[in-house]
């Protein structure tokens, strides 16, 4: 058999890309979730699905940053939870009951993934392909996504087809008939999604499409963490707490918000955290009063300010959410300490209350009452029943594969992981004594709900005002880190 030079080049590229793929797999961290974990999650999903149903999950779309540059790809958390797959252009089908194909083979799941492509992999990285998904992920019924259009699944026979409502945010690559856009269109055609009533005004045909049930089921699964998930969450939270502690030692007047952000994120990377779980919030002074302040552009932070730092490392997909507020010069002023200690008291009481059977709403009410009484005592509001804007958010949320993770509604349960994050924010111009203006405090910790209480996961970063001041007196290894001056016009 004769090959052209071009064909031989493609074959060699493919062979070497496979070699380097195998080589790279030997030199990675060993604490990723296992194929057995993901299989267990698919089985747990299957147990919760209604009779004679199928659940369908799509990969996240690729997001364009600008021109021909895309954002770093981040997988849909549900699909990652169920498969461990971290590539785009994929669709997973999980069946409640065993199915039988035309040749008599039985299966209860099908996974369609993007194909191996040596030339594409040279530009954008290695792909598993269907064989890799079978070998590495343990999903034996894995196929190339190019097979999805022709794959024969009789969707009409199911009582329910569960999937999430589609968003209008997926780009179409007209040259690729197996990209995510095409997979979605092919699925819509297969299940009769979006078919309108005819022009005579007849009612739309009843269908078996369920766009709501899947969110409840996945919330019930993801809200209760397994041991493997808790191992990763503990690491993510510890990494985030270490970042807070290192910044406390390194903090000094004259720093920039971006510099503070950089120290946190350096610690994240040093520990092997792949990403930040959300855009880092680093607000000095009045900027801290903006709840989701992510510009982080303030320069020359002043000694009479505090800085609010809300950051979370994402470690192997699992995200922490830890906030500390500290004085730039290492010492809380009288007013800063009064507000800080009030927020700390509200948080501490709420944490002590956390246990199975208690709701996040009940914890939130307790924290709110403590803050309102404290604000009234300080003269910032008229009395404890006065409506005010100084505590505008809730107390808690689940964390996990999302920073605001899915979870079941109702009372707390063992092995949930939630935040506890009271705050007080008094922006300049508020209707109170100006001595309080510009003070913003949020203290946020991550706790694990245990059998009869809770465990503080983020305790490595000090929370008490006196402990913060003590740590800020310690030296930082970054004190000797200096760079050449940036020259040019200001």
Q: Which one from 442, 445, 446, 463 is the annotated catalytic residue? A: 442
Distances (CA, A) of 320 to 122, 355, 487: 33, 20, 38
Per-position DSSP letters for 41-59, written without gaps between them: HHHHHHHHSPSSEEEEEEP
Sequence-ordered list of residues with C-beta below 8 angstroms from that of 120, at least 6 positions apart, any chain = 127
Q: Which one from 76, 276, 310, 405 is the annotated catalytic residue? A: 310
Euclidean distance between CA atoms 307 and 326, whole angstroms: 6
Sequence-ordered list of residues with C-beta below 8 angstroms from that of 403, at least 6 positions apart, any chain = 277, 278, 312, 319, 321
In this structure, are residues 307 and 288 in contact, taking their beta carbons and an 8 Å threshold?
yes
Q: Which one from 425, 445, 446, 463 is the annotated catalytic residue? A: 425
Q: Which one from 76, 444, 445, 446 is the annotated catalytic residue? A: 444
Distances (CA, A) of 372 to 386, 424, 425, 445: 8, 10, 13, 21
Q: Which one from 26, 51, 68, 196 is the annotated catalytic residue? A: 68
Annotation says 36 is catalytic: no
Euclidean distance between CA atoms 428 and 436, whole angstroms: 8
Q: Which one from 295, 393, 433, 466 is the annotated catalytic residue? A: 393
Annotation says 228 is catalytic: no
Euclidean distance between CA atoms 115 and 355, whole angstroms: 47
Q: Which one from 321, 336, 402, 446 is the annotated catalytic residue? A: 321
Annotation says 425 is catalytic: yes
In this structure, are residues 396 and 421 in contact, taking their beta carbons and an 8 Å threshold?
yes
Beta strands in 354-469 (DSSP E): 417-420, 423-426, 439-442, 445-449, 454-456
Q: Which one from 87, 314, 421, 446 is the annotated catalytic residue? A: 421
Sequence-ordered list of residues with C-beta below 8 angstroms from that of 6, at least 6 positions apart, any chain = none
Question: Residue 48 CB: number of other CB atoms within 10 A?
Answer: 15
- 3-state secondary structure (DSSP) of residue 16: helix
Annotation says 404 is catalytic: yes
H/E element holding 191? Answer: helix 180-191
Question: Residue 155 CB: number of other CB atoms within 10 A?
Answer: 17
Annotation says 107 is catalytic: no
Euclidean distance between CA atoms 267 and 243, whole angstroms: 6
Chain mean position to CA 434: 38
Longest CA pairwise span in the chain (Å) = 90
What are the tokens at 97?
């009951």
Q: Which one from 65, 175, 212, 292 is the annotated catalytic residue? A: 292
Catalytic residues: 68, 292, 310, 321, 393, 397, 404, 421, 425, 442, 444
């Amino acid at each position: 058999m004769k090959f052209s030079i071009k064909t031989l080049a493609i074959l060699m590229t493919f062979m070497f890309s496979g070699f380097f793929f195998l080589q790279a797999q030997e030199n990675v961290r060993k604490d990723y979730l296992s194929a057995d974990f993901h299989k267990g999650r698919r089985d747990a999903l299957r147990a919760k699905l209604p009779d004679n149903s199928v659940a369908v999950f799509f990969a996240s779309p690729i997001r364009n940053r600008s021109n021909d540059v895309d954002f770093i790809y981040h997988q849909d958390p549900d699909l990652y939870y169920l498969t461990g797959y971290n590539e785009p252009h994929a669709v997973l089908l999980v069946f409640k009951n065993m199915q039988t194909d035309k040749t008599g083979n039985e299966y209860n799941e099908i996974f369609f993934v993007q194909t191996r492509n040596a030339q594409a992999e040279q530009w954008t990285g290695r792909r598993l392909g269907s064989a890799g998904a079978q070998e590495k992920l343990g999903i034996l019924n894995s196929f190339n996504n190019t097979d999805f259009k022709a794959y024969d699944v009789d969707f009409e026979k199911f009582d329910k087809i569960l999937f999430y409502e589609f968003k209008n945010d997926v780009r179409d690559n007209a040259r690729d008939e197996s990209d995510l856009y095409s997979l979605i269109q092919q699925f819509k055609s297969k299940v009769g999604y979006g078919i309108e009533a005819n022009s005579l005004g007849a009612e739309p045909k009843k269908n078996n499409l369920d766009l709501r049930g899947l969110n409840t089921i996945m919330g019930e699964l993801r809200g209760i963490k397994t041991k493997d998930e808790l191992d990763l969450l503990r690491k993510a939270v510890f990494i985030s707490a270490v970042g807070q502690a290192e910044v406390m030692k390194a903090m000094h007047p004259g720093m920039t918000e971006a510099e503070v952000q950089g120290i946190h994120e350096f610690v994240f990377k040093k520990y092997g955290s792949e990403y930040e779980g959300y855009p880092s919030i680093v607000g000095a002074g009045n900027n801290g009063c903006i709840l989701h302040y992510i510009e982080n552009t303030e320069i020359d932070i002043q000694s009479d300010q505090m800085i609010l730092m809300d950051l979370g490392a994402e470690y192997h997909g699992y995200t922490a959410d830890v906030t500390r507020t500290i004085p730039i010069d290492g010492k809380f002023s009288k007013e800063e300490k009064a507000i800080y200690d009030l927020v700390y008291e509200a948080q501490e009481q709420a944490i002590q209350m956390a246990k199975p059977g208690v709701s996040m709403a009940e914890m939130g009410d307790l924290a709110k009452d403590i803050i309102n009484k404290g604000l009234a005592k300080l003269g910032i509001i008229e009395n404890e029943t006065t409506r005010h804007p100084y505590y505008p958010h809730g107390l808690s949320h689940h964390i996990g594969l999302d920073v605001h993770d899915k979870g079941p509604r109702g009372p707390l349960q063992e092995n949930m992981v939630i935040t506890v994050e009271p705050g007080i924010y008094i922006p300049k111009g508020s209707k109170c004594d100006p001595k309080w203006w510009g003070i913003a405090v949020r203290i946020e910790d991550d706790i694990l709900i245990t059998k009869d209480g809770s465990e503080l996961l983020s305790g490595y970063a000090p929370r008490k005002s006196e402990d913060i001041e003590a740590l800020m007196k310690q030296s930082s290894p970054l004190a000797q880190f200096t760079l050449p001056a940036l020259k040019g016009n200001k």
